[in-house]
Amino acid sequence: MKYQYVNEQIREKAVQLVMDDGSMRGQVPTYVAMGLAEDKELDLVQVSPSKDGKPPICKLMNYGKLRYKESKNKKKQTKSVTKEIKFGFNISDHDMETKMNKVFKFLSKKYNVKFTLELRGRYRYMKDLAKEKMDEALKSLDGLAQWDKISENNNNLSVVLKPVGK
């Protein structure tokens, strides 16, 4: 949030005043605008700085309410978090269960999950078996997550899982 000058912080001699209902009052001395703000129990907030010798544009509003709305909007704009789970081709059944439990946990928290099968050594040449292994793992996530297609890059097979109902 950019810094806004409020009430006594405005140091200009005159301001372009916008009333609380949105109507323009025109150029007014700052002390008169401050008096109007006090009478209506509102704040004088500088909306736009002065340009080319013109006075700044100030508006009568409740500054606390403005800050509250801005903080609410900022909370709504949170970025989606992507977690990554990696596993190898010859992972044991129990280790795979542990990885899948981690995926379930992340999906229940509404995180996106990048599910990656790393192919090392001789397993790099067994991509068809790796795809079968990945499909087998994804079958258990059928009702919990959505995904497009398995992407192949270098020595990895990966898919991004998105929680259902996000």
The per-residue pLDDT for range 106-137, each reduced to its tens digit, is: 988 888 999 899 988 888 888 888 888 888 88
Domains of the chain listed by start with CATH number: 7-75 (3.10.20.80), 82-163 (3.30.110.10)
As a whole number, mean pLDDT of residues 39-55 equals 86
Residue pair 117/158 in contact (Cβ under 8 Å)? The answer is yes
How far is residue 99's CA from residue 91's CA, in Å, rounded to a whole number? 10
Residue pair 100/117 in contact (Cβ under 8 Å)? The answer is no
> pTM surpassing 0.85?
no
As a whole number, mean pLDDT of residues 142-150 equals 85
